[in-house]
Chain A
Amino acid sequence: MLLTLIIFIPLVLGLLACAVVPARQMKYAALGILVLDLLLSVYAAAFAFDWAGATQTVEIFGTSVETAFQLRAHVAWPLLSQFEISYSVGLDHLSMLMVLLTTVLGIFGVLCSFKAIEKREKEFYFHLLLLQTGILATFSALDLFVFYMSWELMVVPLYFLIGIWGSKDRLYATMKFVIFTLAGSLMMLLAILWMYYNGAQTYSYEKMLTLGMGEQWRFAVWPFLGLMAAFLIKVPLWPLHTWLPDAHTEAPTAGSVILAGVLLKTGVYGILRFAIPLFPYAAVALAPLFTWLAVIAIIYGAMCAMVQKDMKRLVAYSSVSHMGFIILGVFCFNAQALSGAILQMINHGISTGGLFLAVGMIYERRHTRLMSEFGGLAARVPIFAALTMVMVLSSVGLPGLNGFVGEFPILVGSMSNAPILAAAREPNSIYAILRQTNYTWLVASLAVTGVILGAVYLLIMYQKVFFGKLDKQENKELLDLNGREVFQLAVLSLAALFIGLFPQTLLKPINHTSRHLLEVVSVPLSFGQENEPMRYEGTEEHGDEHDATGEHNHASAPASDERAGES
């Protein structure tokens, strides 16, 4: 019940507020609603959620299921229960963290819109609240049908947010975003239907896990790719990323913050929650593909970011690069890399969300985002300069701030994959090592260039905006941040510092999640290795018969010639 409240409070109270609150006051109402939501989710995390992670046994459509999800709600719908569709939500460690991230960043979404949004305020805040409900439902859905519905629900409000309150090319950007996302969703829908008709006969995710569908769908690649298509478009991974720069650039600040901070994470979340556990074999088999795409994304996104003139577009491309790191971490299937990647999901929400907030604050003052319009602002707005610096550094991955504690385990983890260690124990020849290192060493080394390029593009941006001569008349009259703005950036800066120094608070629950995930993929990961001796046996038999076969060969050769002659 608590979780249902958390999910639907923004929607229901938002509707109510639309009815009773005057448009000018709507922002306060929205803020109040989101604070209430945040308090509830914090309460849930602090008191209702069992971080030790006990499992419970429940009954779902007549099957008794052992589930690790908590705060569950399971309501069978009268007409749909014959298809085993139900309203089913629940949280585990991963989704609890994501829910917290969502409720926290939602508040920033409202705070940064206080002054920026002047037209059609009621609708704006209602869409923001609706978006919040969609995201929260996505993170907590345990029924694929519900998941699909909430996945689609997220698109609608964002479509309006960009399309109505965006800047110049908003219609193009929002259409692109919607069509891109819908194309992905369609493939996901097909995959879900495939799953239903190929053995699952249910839409309940928990039940699917119990039925051991992962083993049954060992050779199912296409449905896995269908799911991945939807998720990777949302992430977005190269080459499916091109909607992102447009959407970010045109979106209002609140839209960008929520988009970068939370919405992109739904893609990774989907991979971690559904794609990998349901299709572990396909995930392991295709992992090299995704790691390579991730590496391309890291370097490619950074390269594109380097030459942007528009600050928002720059940050958007930096998101492509950073999300590449996360995907890399996920598909290394290594505890360090995976935990780092999940931690990085939260970190990216904070630092990129912060950067978008900062760009929005500048935009509010000057109504331009072109870097060439600025310069020397550090002298005029020192508080703004200092707080933006923290966000930039957190995004660059300076140790002591949050970006580092995510990137570092990803890099270390992606290098220390088991096959490499095995190779290192082999005789000391470069050939032996290269042969067995798989691709991971190379991947990690290439990914490190992302760390260098990250410093390049963000510092270029910072320098162009804040350093240099304060020569533009408009910039000489800029006002430094007001209390509301300082609050936003300062809170995020402190969060960045806190996570940077005490990541263990988050890593504990995250480790829990990665442990579960690795348990799932450990079978397919060792699959090839177990098969190895079997294949050896086969060849040995073959070898024993070698002489005999050789004779056979000679004997049968004329026979085959005859056959060829006949036909």
Chain B
Amino acid sequence: MIEFVWLIPAIMFLAALVNGLGVRRLGKTAGHIAWMAMALCCVISFVVLFQVIGLSHDPHWAGTKILLWHWFDIPNFFGPNRTFSVEMAFHVDQLTTVFLCFVSFIGTLVFIYATGYMKEKHGGHLELDPGYARFFAFVCLFAASMFTLVLGANLAVMFIGWEGVGLCSYLLIGYYFDKPFSENLSCADAGRKAFVVNRIGDAGLLIGIGLLFWGLGTLDFAQINDVLISGKLADGSPIPDSFKYGGLLITAATLCMFFGATGKSAQIPLFTWLPDAMAGPTPVSALIHAATMVTAGVYMVARMNVAYFLSPGTMAVVAIIGALTAFAAATMGLTQRGIKKALAYSTVSQLGYMFLGLGVGAMAGGIFHVFTHAFFKGCLFLAAGSVIHALHHEEDMFKMGGLKKYMPKTWLAYAMATLAIAGFPLTSGFFSKDEILYSAWLSAGDGVPVLWIIGVITAVMTAIYMGRTLFLTFHGKERLDDHAREHVHESPSNMTMPILVLGGLGLIVGFLNVPHALTFGVLPEAKFHHFLAPVVDRGAEHVAALRGFETDHATGMVPSGPLIVAGNVGEDLLPTAQHHHAELLLAISSAALGILGLGIAWWFFGAGLTERSRKLARTFQPLWKLSFHRWWWDDFYNTVFRDGTMLKARAVWKTDVAVVDGAVVGIAEGCRSIGRGLRRIQNGQVQTYGLVMFIGICMFLLYFAFGLNNFLSQSLDETQGRKVLQMEPSKRSLQGTEVQIEEPAREIVLKD
């Protein structure tokens, strides 16, 4: 089946095409085509998964490449012998398979959910949304792009998917293209914002790709790894020094590519598009802006882990940016009123966790958090969508409350997912967050674990804001307006089934990757990590070998990643029994903090919106404002970058009209006025002509009679003589003789 893995994107593309062409005729069928195509992809993905599990017993198997055709081939005819050769090729290995499986699985559930969501009750009977088939065409195209992204065997093919998901995101955010989104942003604006912000990141990614090609002569993932590890280019010559461990250019390249990742994965400084991306239909928010597309940046970093491990500077930046984003977004999520807005900031924050994990070297941990996050965040968004759908597009949590009794199934799913994301013990979020935090702790070595502290504070805040959304929405007094109260109902089963499945899985998938400290000798240890290790631990292994420490230890893996990154690894710091002890302690403390956070949320919001919660906001007014206005981050960007660029553009255009075109027009005008002036000379008066003629004749006579030409030739000789002088002085040794030659020449001139 692996050879036919290209079927997965092909099927989705075909589904998109069918839906797109039949956009007017298909009606309800469009949804069925879409979810069935996705389900088929899911089946293929799982078949591939089992094959890959079988294949990965062979330690020499490093993925299978499926070459479709040669995309570009531009040989370098002169200069260094490297062909710019890009294949349209797919590559299947453990990392790819993991992404294929969870994207297609969650995608199927979301598509089924969407067939219910994209209908409205109008006067008693259900009506399809006017853009029903268009919606499914776009989401199918999205899925095709996402699969291309994770399957691509080289950076260029990945980039097709990378831009493709960006495009679909643009189209889907702007799906309600004639509706306003917030007071100063229409849905179409939000879509454009997403595309442009992503594009800014992509520019960085392109530079990074260019740098890598220039240093390594290839864009193929497998070859990049081989070249970096062996230190030899394809033609056998050594790689440039600046592409070796800690080199300047590998750092620059990885940093540029990480800039691309901050765009796609909504990290500081490019995260501002994601909260506005909630303008799209909710299934889109769940699938694209929570579960799959935004993880593309994480995927890319993990995919390029060898390059990233080789540049500790970049790794530090990744970790710091991740931690800061996690923290900042969590503070912003604390006070948002829209349920989707709050979830959006939660997504940004969780993505920050993932990058924190990657940055401290826990590549598998980061990917595992992507995996678990996809389940519980997908569930949260879909459940929120179920609420919004039931209340007829009411998103403000302050106008909800007490929905538990109307929508018990939705509540159940939402509560399960909240537990998971808050890190309640033994839920999936607990395991995945714990691994990241443990690595952050280790990465500090002997120093103060700043990153860990930020991570833990964020974990508490996560629990608080998630608890807040849960309690404000489902608990306490009802604050519905009349219109919403009329409509409130539990969603149909094609919507509740997917969210219950996702919520339930969100609780238990964590057991796929139980850390050593928590196995208690019973549970299988770190299966997920073991599975991914051949791909994502390659960089750590290489750098460990490079810098001469043992990779082998009790667990048989390389969790020494963080230590390598920290750069202060000694024998004594390698994970030992003592560290596992610490891991257990850390796990217990972070779990306790999660429960504490939920408790705080319950204390303030358990009874809904009460005097107690209002007082909290009043007491910390400045902080509340900072959080509610999202640190004024958007306003800053809008003023400085958006308006600033437009201002500059206007200035440039004014310059174009006034100066550049002005010069052209000026020359034309100049010619015209010269012509106008010269016209006066030809005035038809014989006297004037005679005078001019006379002056001319006089000048000729003067010229010949008074030896003017002699004078001219004389000065010409003089200049030539000087030239000789100027040309020679460099030959200092000959100066003396030259002067002798020179002097008579000058005398002759003077005598004349």
Contacts and interface: CB of A to CB of B under 8 A. Distances in A.
Interface of A: 176, 179-180, 238-239, 241-243, 300, 303-304, 306-308, 334-336, 339-340, 376, 378-379, 382, 386, 393, 398-400, 404-405, 408-409, 411-413, 415-416, 418, 420-421, 424-430, 433, 444-445, 448-449, 451-452, 455-456, 459-460, 463, 466-470, 501-504, 507-508, 511, 514-515, 518-519, 522, 525, 545, 548-549, 552-553, 556, 559-560, 563
A522 B78 contact: yes
B210 A415 contact: yes
Contacts of A449: 203
Interface in B375-426: none
Interface in B172-201: 174, 177-178, 186, 188-189, 192, 195-196, 199-200
Given A304-B656, A335-B74, A552-B732, A409 B84 contact: yes
A399 B159 contact: yes
B167 interface: yes
A507 B203 contact: no
Given A463-B188, A463-B189, A552-B732, A424 B74 contact: no
Interface centre among A176, A404, A415 (most CB of B within 10 A): A415
A335 B186 CA distance: 45
B645 to A, nearest CB: 8
Q: Size class of B's contact patch?
A: 35 or more
A451 B203 CA distance: 7
A509 to B, nearest CB: 12
Given A466-B177, A467-B174, A507-B74, A412 B213 contact: yes
B156 A399 contact: yes
A334 B79 CA distance: 9
B202 A451 contact: yes
Interface string B64-81: 000001111111111110
26 contacts: A176-B664, A238-B660, A241-B660, A242-B656, A242-B660, A307-B646, A307-B649, A308-B653, A335-B84, A398-B164, A399-B156, A405-B72, A411-B206, A415-B214, A416-B210, A416-B214, A427-B241, A449-B203, A452-B196, A456-B196, A459-B192, A459-B196, A463-B174, A504-B73, A559-B735, A559-B736
Nearest to A337: B74
Contacts of B164: 398-400
Nearest to A302: B649
B195 A455 contact: yes
A553 B732 contact: yes
B163 interface: yes
Interface stretch (B43-51, B242-250, B616-624, B683-691): B242-250
A393 B168 CA distance: 12
A165 B415 CA distance: 68
Interface string B537-557: 000000000000000000000
Nearest to A455: B199
B581 interface: no
Interface string B52-92: 00000000000000000111111111111000100010000
Given A379-B178, A467-B177, A504-B71, A306 B646 contact: yes
Q: Give chain B's interface secondary structure class.
A: helix
A412 B243 CA distance: 17
A522 B733 CA distance: 39
B188 A452 contact: no
Contacts of B76: 334-336
Interface centre among A180, A444, A508 (most CB of B within 10 A): A444
Interface string B233-272: 0000000111100011100000000000000000000000
Contacts of B167: 393, 398
A335 B77 contact: yes
List the 3 closest pairs (A to B, CB-CB), nearest first. A467-B188, A416-B214, A424-B240
Interface centre among A418, A448, A460 (most CB of B within 10 A): A448
A176 B656 CA distance: 15
B207 interface: yes
Contact of B214 (A379, A404, A421): A421
Contacts of A563: 739
B654 to A, nearest CB: 9
Nearest to A407: B206
A60 B646 CA distance: 57
B669 interface: no
A507 B84 CA distance: 12
A376 to B, nearest CB: 5
Contacts of B210: 411-412, 415-416, 444
B160 to A, nearest CB: 4
B213 A416 contact: yes
A179 B667 CA distance: 11
Contacts of A239: 660, 663
Given A448-B206, A456-B196, 8 more contacts: A176-B664, A336-B76, A398-B167, A425-B240, A427-B241, A428-B241, A463-B192, A559-B736
B70 to A, nearest CB: 6
Contact of B196 (A404, A455, A559): A455
Given A393-B167, A399-B164, A455-B195, A424 B214 contact: yes
Nearest to B160: A399
Nearest to A418: B79
Interface string B635-646: 000000000011
Given A303-B653, A405-B72, A444-B210, A519 B77 contact: yes
Given A300-B656, A459-B195, A518 B77 contact: yes
B668 interface: yes
B652 interface: yes
Contacts of B213: 412, 415-416
B330 interface: no
B77 A515 contact: yes
Interface string B200-218: 1011001101110111000
A66 B160 CA distance: 44
Contact of A452 (B186, B199, B735, B739): B199
A525 B77 CA distance: 13
A154 B84 CA distance: 37
Given A424-B243, A451-B202, A463-B192, A507 B72 contact: yes
Interface centre among A382, A386, A411, A455 (most CB of B within 10 A): A455
A155 to B, nearest CB: 17
A552 B646 CA distance: 66
Contact of A242 (B69, B241, B661): B661
B466 to A, nearest CB: 34
A408 B210 CA distance: 9
A404 B205 CA distance: 14
A545 B663 CA distance: 55
A386 B19 CA distance: 13
Contacts of B128: none
A339 B656 CA distance: 31
A504 B195 contact: no
B23 interface: yes
A507 B178 contact: no
B629 interface: no
B487 interface: no
B51 to A, nearest CB: 28
Nearest to A551: B733
A518 B78 contact: yes
A40 to B, nearest CB: 30
A534 B186 CA distance: 67
Contacts of B70: 504
Contacts of B202: 451-452
A416 B76 CA distance: 10
Contacts of B232: none
A187 B89 CA distance: 50
B612 interface: no
Interface string B695-739: 000000000000000000000000000000000000011011001
B615 interface: no
A502 to B, nearest CB: 7
Contacts of B735: 556, 559-560
Given A409-B84, A433-B248, A456-B196, A444 B163 contact: no
